[in-house]
Amino acid sequence: MNDFRRRCPNLAVLFVVLGMVIAISSDCWPASYSRESAVVKAVRKVSPAVVNISSEYEVAQRSNPFFDSRVDPFFDSFFRDFFEPRYRRRYKGTSLGSGVIIDGERGYILTNEHVIARSTEIKVVLRDEREFQAELVGAAPDFDLAVLKIESDETLPAIEMGNSDDLMIGETVIAIGNPFGFSHTVTTGVISALNRSVQAEDRTYRDFIQTDASINPGNSGGPILNINGDLIGINTAIYSKAQGIGFAIPINKARRVMDDLIKYGEVHIPWLGLSVQDLDPRLTRYFKTPQGQGVLVSDVTKESPAHEAGLQPGHVVTAVGKKRVTSKETYLALIRNFAAEDVIPLTVWKDDESHVIQVRSRTFPEELAEEWAYEFLGVRIQEISTILRLRFRIAAKDGVMVTELRSGSYLDRIGARSGDVIRRINDVVVKDLNDFKKAVIKYRLKESAVFLIQRGSQQYYVTVKLQ
């Protein structure tokens, strides 16, 4: 026997192992593995807070057969604004999207603005098939976000907010929505990139999360989750050319917008009191900054947050927070990521050194709106009175009248004149001076805005440069 063991040591070991296997009862081996993965748990946790949103809107289509808006879009707005309703054909359209309940006690729902744009009626359907009529609390087209509210006798299921500032490229994400009307569809993927800029129609959206999880029409407004089921972004299907590419608005950015919409019904852009300009090659020889980047401070409003923090004309802002400033456009976009009253850290190049200056922002003071209008628009305005209507022979009763034009201003160059009445600025109907101030404050950081100007009995749409 000893001789056998010496000659066949491996065979002896095999016998020992076989004996151990036989000794172990077969019921000790698992019949199957658990299928309840982290993704399954996250979806089960969050699904009750994901809602289906259907909105109904009215479309007025001109019935004049002589003009084709595909040839000249001007006629669409012409007939819409100057012809009586009997010359229009109206029909109703519907839009489908998703949303997520972010406050179950108060019934607040976060979604995309383009899901409910122009809606006359909004219906929300929960996972358990309960239906609610929703009220629009506020919308922010520049951020493609909106907040809805529904009334319920009981607390609704709500989602837990995550943190989108510590996301990792390659980490697993989960998207839930209603693509093409298929309720509560789940797709998974990974984060492909961060801080993406996406051009959609006439807007550029910045700081998006890019993912390879499928995002299709109907997913818009739904949540994108991390592996723990925490909300890290709001899906948006605004990029029509995307194939295998999805985009989402980071939740930290969405939260700031959402808070303003709930509190004010609109987004309050922080005010620093800084006017800046691009640092073009002709200026870099005088303002030598690292990598030649940044924007030049051209003016500082007295008693503004920037003035109180010590900023002066000639300083160069090279970063906002931790993000570099490469142009005036990026500077304005980065400022919009903060809320009014936030402390905004600006990296400033002055005296051949880099300094971080903390600036506590405020809301734009309404009393400065008229002065801003003169500085950037070149107009002085006044509310319409009977005397002014008779003097300038105008038919308008609502709006504000241009009483002075600065020579050489943009409006002066395109032919505006005293006596013209401003009736509308973008989507703000201007009935009086207060409306004009609100519009100026709302759109002051835009490069341009569309004005509706009335002269006598005629009205004209004019695109006006603001910067």
The yes-or-no answer on residue 114 being catalytic is: yes
Token look-up 């295998």 returns 244
CA-CA distance, 327 to 204, in Å (whole number)? 15
- Going from the C-alpha of 41 to that of each of 34, 103, 284, 335, the distances in angstroms are 12, 21, 55, 38
Do 344 and 304 form a contact (C-beta atoms < 8 A)?
no
The yes-or-no answer on residue 268 being catalytic is: no
**Which residue among 214, 220, 304, 409 is the active-site one?**
220
CA-CA distance, 55 to 178, in Å (whole number)? 14
Token look-up 């709930």 returns 262
Residue 198, helix vs strand vs coil: strand
CA-CA distance, 156 to 159, in Å (whole number)? 10
Computed on alpha carbons and rounded to an integer, the radius of gyration of the chain in Å comes to 30
The yes-or-no answer on residue 220 being catalytic is: yes
Nearest to 82 by CA among 101, 62, 100: 62
Residue 373, helix vs strand vs coil: helix
- Going from the C-alpha of 391 to that of each of 14, 61, 242, 372, the distances in angstroms are 112, 38, 56, 27
**Which residue among 98, 119, 142, 144 is the active-site one?**
144
Q: What angle do CA 332, 335, 340 make, to 5 degrees?
A: 135
Do 224 and 213 form a contact (C-beta atoms < 8 A)?
yes
CA-CA distance, 102 to 182, in Å (whole number)? 22
CA-CA distance, 265 to 100, in Å (whole number)? 18
Task: Enumerate long-range contacts of 38-44, CB under 8 Å, 24 or more apart.
Answer: 38/172, 38/227, 38/228, 39/172, 39/174, 39/186, 39/188, 39/227, 41/229, 42/174, 42/225, 42/226, 42/227, 42/228, 42/229, 43/174, 43/176, 43/186, 43/229
Nearest to 376 by CA among 295, 460, 302, 443: 443
**Which residue among 54, 55, 95, 114 is the active-site one?**
114
φ and ψ of 155, to 5 deg: -65, 130
Token look-up 């109206």 returns 90
Hey, which residues are catalytic here? Answer: 114, 144, 220
